Amino acid sequence: MLTAIRYRKIGAACLKYLTVVLCLIGISENHVLSQIRLPRLISDGMIIQRDMEIRIWGWASVGEEVAVDFNGIRRRSITDEQSQWIVTFPAMQAGGPYTMEIKASNRVLLNDIWIGDVWVCSGQSNMELPMVRVKPRFEEAIASSTNPKIRQFDVSTRYAFASPKDDLEEGTWVDADPGSVLKFTAVGYFFARELYEKYKVPIGLIKSAVGGSPAEAWLSENTLKSYPHYLAIHKKYRDSLLVDSIKKADAAIIQAWNARIDSSDLGLQGKTKWYDEAYRPERWKNATIPGYWDDWQIFDTRGQDHLNGVVWFRKEIEVPESMVGKPAMLVLGAIVDRDEVYVNGTLVGTTGYQYPPRRYPVPVGLLKKGKNIVVLRVISNVGRGGFVKGKEYMLQSGKERIDLSGTWQCQLGYASNPMPGGGVTFHYQPGGLFNGMIAPLLNYAIKGVIWYQGESNTDRAAEYQSLFPDLINDWRKNWHRQNLPFLYVQLANFMEPRDQPSESGWAALRYAQFKALDLPNTAMAVTIDVGEANDIHPLDKETVGKRLSLAARKMAYGEEKLVYTGPLYKSFRLEDNKVIIDFFSAGSPLKVTGGELQGFAIAGPDGKFIWANARIDGNEVLVWHDSIAHPTAVRYAWADNPVHANLYNEAGLPASPFEVDLK
């Protein structure tokens, strides 16, 4: 009996203790729920759009009152049933720095806020490409980049299919300086620098770009309804279990291929690896770098079109005493697809895909006077493997250089079937990037958009003629700005030039971009003269940024008399066998650079294009060929790489490629 009473007392005490604990837990949970949470964009150092209504929003517990104090004005809001709140402030002029205080059950203080102009920088890799990639060309610009009134917010890559996201996963506002600017979008930075120098207004860049992304990945679900085949894909990938299973299966296939490459590579077998200083090569072949090993025909391709797998390269170089004990850089152009680079047996760098320039610092003390050995392990996944021509291959220390082009020894480490394709890159799928990387930005007021994309749609140029305008209208609708300035870059020249007129997916895509100018408050930076035949990521992002800034000054800042574009096709008429093309050139006369006018092609009834005669007559160009009495079509700069196109205006801006069907 006493035992039973004792247990009841103990049980009651435990129950009382448990009740107290549960109450404390409840208080703690309510306290956590009541904490103000702000979107990533609303943070220290943000730049707020001037001259527009300012929206500040966030989350707290349901029904809680939130007060926001900014620039002498207080606004209040009550959180709704989704725990969301929003307040608005009147439009304000440029200025700063300001603080913002947000109070509910807790207090958040934001510092170093400026009011200026905010631009979204979006598209694929040529917009994403950071300043560090163009550093060899723009070292002075980087060194002088310190400006706390030019800032970037970098949106990390994320896709979503189930629904639009309401916030970003990470990100902060960062001032430009020689260190931080290396991560800025290069196009965006040069664009911002031009605008700041012109208007002295703080410029905020929101970089939301993904390399390789097609335009359809940036469309909202509502706009995808106009493209049923894309909408079906978007809906399919709402199934997260399906997505996870595909990712797992794809990863397993790639991992197995890579594991076989490494385990079968002769250069990694045996006691002495092929990169080791102690290794002595036997029966290695000679090869000339740069170049592609399929072209050398020194390996057995086993009947395949291309030799994939691992090829090793080795070169002995003589290093003078003047280069020893100093910082050095190994510059190896661009390599297809992956590489590991060793100097005197020490790994100095590796790159996992073909596009980045290979610039590997050599640690001080690694080089020695006299003979040094450079060894490359190159892996080709699919297609031609090797070294991109037209790039620099050298060892550099200060002003001293050792040329590394020419003869190298090479040996096959392992010949493989190509890496299996057919996997799904989910951040390229329709609607995914809009939901993940644009939807969280839509409450944030912006000045406009700069866009550099199209390379991934060049095989679907006809579709792009509707897809791209639909994207522009889609974003304008979602930002609730019917005339939101939308400025974009026409694809640069790329790939080997051709001697004769030919079909070109890149030219067709450029023409689709040109047609988008039919939309109001759009402008296009023509860049067919700043590309590189051997690099899809040309270094001259300064010219691109400057031309976009001209477009902004016209469309977003209202400079009426500004020459902001090169010649644009306007209309045509026929006179006998001559086609007379009229141009819009923004008030600057037409001009030829470098001799006679070139780049025009003309076709007769057979539809075959040949190079045409052309000459400027006022604001028109006369195009003809004596062998064609009845022309049916004219094209200008219609090529992947229209190197001969030389029609400009006197402001130095190039004419856009175009085609005219005279029928």
pLDDT of residue 431: 98
| 304: confidence class by pLDDT, cuts 50, 70, 90 | confident
pLDDT tens by residue, 407-464: 999 999 999 999 999 899 999 999 999 999 999 999 999 999 999 999 999 999 999 9
Q: What is the percentage of the chain residues whose pLDDT exceeds 90?
A: 92
State pLDDT tens for residues 80-136. 999 999 999 999 999 999 999 999 999 999 999 999 999 999 999 999 999 999 999
Residues 137-146 have a mean pLDDT of: 98
Calculate mean pLDDT across residues 253-279. 97
Q: What distance in Å separates the CA atoms of residue 97 and residue 202, rounded to the nearest whole number?
A: 10
Identify the weakest region by mean pLDDT among 19-33, 71-85, 341-355, 549-563. Answer: 19-33
The mean predicted confidence, pLDDT, of the chain is: 94
Q: What is the DSSP string of 613-652?
A: EEEEETTEEEEE-TT-SS--EEEES-SSS-TT--EEETTS
pLDDT band at 663 (very low <50, low <70, confident <90, very high): confident
What CA–CA distance (Å, rounded) separates 2 from 202? 80
What is the distance between the alpha carbons of residues 186 and 218, in angstroms, rounded to a whole number? 21
pLDDT tier, 585 (very low <50, low <70, confident <90, very high otherwise) = confident
Question: Which of 484, 474, 422 has its CA nearest to residue 449?
Answer: 484
Instruction: Identify the pLDDT of residue 23.
Output: 39
pLDDT confidence bin for 26, thresholds 50/70/90: very low
Quickly tell me which residue has 């020194």 as its tokens. Answer: 298
| Beta strand pairing call for 173-176 and 346-351 | unpaired
Provide the pLDDT for residue 405: 98
Q: How much is the average pLDDT of 623-628?
A: 98
In 333-457 the beta strands, taken as DSSP E runs, fall at: 335-336, 338-343, 346-351, 359-362, 370-380, 386-387, 393-397, 400-403, 406-416, 448-452
> What is the Cα–Cα distance from 200 to 195, expressed in whole angstroms?
8
- Nearest partner of 527 among 391, 447, 637, 660, judged by Cα: 637
What is the token pair recorded at 166? 């309401």
What pLDDT digit, counting tens, does each position of 359-373 carry? 999 999 999 999 999
Residue 621 has pLDDT above 60, yes or no: yes
* Closest C-alpha among 607, 610, 603 to residue 629: 603
Residue 177 has pLDDT above 50, yes or no: yes
pLDDT at 16 over 70: no
Q: What percent of the chain has pLDDT over 70?
A: 94
Report whether pLDDT(13) > 50: no
The vertex-544 CA angle with 541 and 548, nearest 5°, equals 140
Asked whether the beta carbons of 538 and 125 are under 8 A apart, the reply is: no
Kindly indicate the confidence band of residue 34, based on its pLDDT and cuts at 50, 70 and 90: low
Looking at residues 511-540, what average pLDDT do you find?
A: 98
pLDDT of residue 5: 35
- Mean pLDDT, rounded, for 137-159: 98
Averaged pLDDT for residues 224-233: 98
The pLDDT of residue 305: 81
Model confidence at 300, in pLDDT bands (50, 70, 90)? Answer: confident
Q: Tens digits of per-residue pLDDT, 376-414?
A: 999 999 999 999 999 999 999 999 999 999 999 999 999
pLDDT digits (tens, 9 = 90+) for 556-584: 999 999 999 999 999 999 999 999 999 99
> Does residue 3 carry a pLDDT above 50?
no
Hey, what domains does the chain have and what are their CATH numbers?
Answer: 35-229+431-555 (3.40.50.1110), 262-416 (2.60.120.260), 568-661 (2.60.40)
Report whether pLDDT(343) > 50. Answer: yes
Residues in the chain: 663
